[in-house]
Structure 1
Amino acid sequence: MFKQPEALNVERHASLGLADQPNYSHAAEEILTPVFSGEAWQVAREYTLVFPNEVGLPLAILGYQQGVNAYLGNNGSWWGRYVPAHIRRYPFIAAPQQTDSGQQQFTVMIDISAPQLLEDAGQPLFEEGQPSKLLKEVQRVLANLQTDTQRTQLLVKQIDEAGLLVKQNLHIKVKEGKDKGLQGFRVIDQAAFRQCDGEALAALNKTGALDLIQAHLCSLTNLQDGLLAKKAAGKLGQNGVLEGPATLDELFNEGDDDFTFDFDS
């Protein structure tokens, strides 16, 4: 997503501004995006949340066709109600640095190729050689994301060490064309989770790992009735609104659609 990252520098970028209107075309080919623990429940409302095969940030599924983000609308708009933080922070990202004293700091990086960055237009990044109000807010957001990144990685590590993650493939059965599949991630082993004793659950609850688990489990319902599934099945109305059942057959349908998302057994 970041094609030409470089460190933001007042000497070189004094005239840069950020476009007023958001545009998410930079995420057109993203079918997975990292998720931070602080946004897990917002993500879980409309995306499917999974875990990577190695310890790292959880992932939200944005598409089922390689290189096609199903949440991207016309002219760079976004179909979902909530845009994941990793998508929203573009064209900015933090590059961690360690000082001589051992303290963690970061450098603000920009994708210099981003169409959101304008010469002598938009909201300025610098004013009289100093960070503008906008850039200060960007720095604050990036600092919070850095902190949340470290916390989220620890939570995933705790869940992993508790033996609750299992590799899984996502199978997509389509009405017309060849069935598709996604792989390379893990989900909560619900049988193992149900066997957790009180001490194990208390440990997961104390750190917030239990909350992340619950958000993940809740998000799995989006495999059948979320925006991604409805859009792929042709049941998405104007402006990304999910259409309800149109007939009694659909109202009492038990999920036997021609188009389905499901995990391989």
Structure 2
Amino acid sequence: MTDYHVITRERHGHQYWLKPSGYRFSAGDALCPLMAQELTKAMLCLPIGFIAEGEQFLPVAVQGLMQGQNLLVAADGRWLASYIPAHYRGYPFRMASTDQGEQVLCIDEASGLLSDSAGEPFFNDDGQPAQSVLEILDFLHQIEANRQLTRRICAVLQQQGLIQPWPITVQGEHGEQNVNGLFRIDEVALNALSTEALAAVRDAGGLSVAYCQLLSMQHLSTLGTLAQAHAEAEKVRLAQESLAPEHKLDLGFMSDSGTFSFG
């Protein structure tokens, strides 16, 4: 559960915030929003698709085979891919819109990352926002600006008929699993665009988005591998819990940075 509140001097003037020690907060996210600007890095290790949001489409990182499951987070909170989506790098902060349409900075007070005595201050002694908060605000403003650009790019891809359903079947712990609700670029339609249509997609920035999505699909099989690795790790954990203390094994190797990592 999350509990976001607008950051104010009255509410947070004497508090501090802590940086997350890992990514357990994202463990239930099978999908994560991606911005156009980050796709060239995300495509190197993450499968990318589109989801429908109302009548629009937005790119997402595909992180799990079922709802509520993020295979890219290890049991100890480590992120298992070489790229971390910007959506997570701003946590526990996010931007929200007021009734007047203004953007305000919020923090998740249920994150466990607020403190009365240690960490980064929200405000300086003069009551002005601390430098660390201003840096977070600037980062989130950049994300929001790129989100609007991403929407415009996806609108052009949609107008040209380049987004189609993506039926996915992957090999998981319990055999083949179907992943529904995702979309992908129609490569045949992309190659068949007229000169004028291709120029419109190119000028909007859509070619980069299209090719990043197509190239990223090669990483989909990694999710099946990770699902099996998570299942094996859970079996070992449960077996360990059932043993008497003198018979337990040292599983410290499962916290090594290379275990179950990819990208």
Shorter-chain TM-score tier? 0.7 to 0.9
Shift in Å at residue 120 of structure 1? 2.1
Q: Which residue is equivalent to 1:94?
A: 95
Q: How does 1:190-209 map to 2 (within 5 A)?
A: 190-209=187-206
Number of the residue aligned with 1:158: 156
Contact 1:171–1:179 (CA under 8 A) maintained in structure 2 = yes
Instruction: Find the aligned partners of 2:119 and 2:99 in 1 and give their Cα distance.
Output: 33
* Equivalent residues of 1:23, 1:116 under 8 A apart: no
Aligned with 1:169 (options 158, 167, 170): 167
Equivalent residue number for residue 127 of structure 1: 124
- Structure 2 portions without partners, runs of 5+: 231-253
Tell me the distance in 2 between the aligned counterparts of 1:145 and 1:96. 14
For these two proteins, the number of residue pairs brought into alignment is 235
Tell me if the contact between 2:171 and 2:224 (Cα under 8 Å) persists in the aligned partners.
Answer: no
Q: CA deviation at 1:42?
A: 1.1
* Aligned residues of 2:166 and 2:182 also touching (Cα < 8 A): yes
Q: Distance in 1 between matches of 2:20 and 2:14?
A: 18
Name the counterpart of 2:144. 146
Paired AA for residue 137 in structure 1: E
Q: Which residue of 1 aligns with 2:238?
A: none
**Which amino acid is 1:72 matched to?**
V
Cα deviations by residue, 1:213-263 (Å, 9 ceiling, x for unpaired): 111011011123x4x3432354999344449xxxxxxxxxxxxxxxxxxxx
1:57-83 deviations in Å (ceiling 9; x for gaps): 211111113312111123322111111
Q: Which residue of 2 aligns with 1:247?
A: none
Superposed CA RMSD in Å reads 2.3
User: Residue type of the partner of 2:60?
Assistant: L
Amino acid at match of 1:238: G
Consecutive unaligned residues in structure 1, runs of 5 or more = 244-265
Equivalent residue number for residue 225 of structure 2? 230
Give yes or no for contact 1:40–1:215 (8 Å, CA) kept in 2: yes
DSSP 3-state at the match of 2:197? helix
TM-score (norm 1): 0.81
Q: Indicate if the aligned counterparts of 2:170 and 2:224 stay in contact, CA closer than 8 A.
A: no
Structure 1 counterpart of 2:37: 38
Deviates more, 1:73-82 or 1:154-163: 73-82
In structure 2, the partner of 1:11 is 10
Counterpart code for 2:195: G
Q: Distance in 2 between matches of 1:22 and 1:119?
A: 18
- TM-score, normalising length from structure 2? 0.82
Aligned equivalents of 1:198, 1:138: Cα separation in 2 = 42
Secondary structure (helix, strand or coil) at the match of 1:69 reads: coil
- Provide closer, same or farther for how the CA distance between residues 242 and 113 of structure 1 changes in structure 2, counting only shifts above 3 A: closer
Contact 1:53 1:167 in 2 (8 A): no
Instruction: Give, in angstroms, the shift of residue 21 of structure 1.
Output: 5.0
CA drift of 1:182 comes to 1.3
Counterpart of 2:249 in structure 1 is: none
Aligned partner of 2:83 in structure 1 is: 82
Contact 2:16 2:117 in 1 (8 A): yes
User: CA–CA distance in 1 between the matches of 2:110 and 2:227?
Assistant: 31
| 1:30-77 superposed Cα distances (whole Å, 9 cap, x missing partner) | 000100111011111111111113414211111113312111123322
Match of 2:66 in 1: 65
Name whichever structure is richer in helix by fraction. 2
Aligned mates of 1:217, 1:241 — CA distance in 2: 22
Distance in structure 1 (CA, Å) of the matches to 2:66 and 2:197: 38
Q: Shift of the alpha carbon at 1:24?
A: 1.3
* Cα deviation 1:201-224 (Å, max 9, x = unaligned): 221111211111111011011123
Cα shift at 1:97: 4.5
- Equivalent position SS for 1:66: coil
Once residues 68 and 133 of structure 1 are traced to their aligned partners in structure 2, the CA distance between those partners, rounded to angstroms, is 35
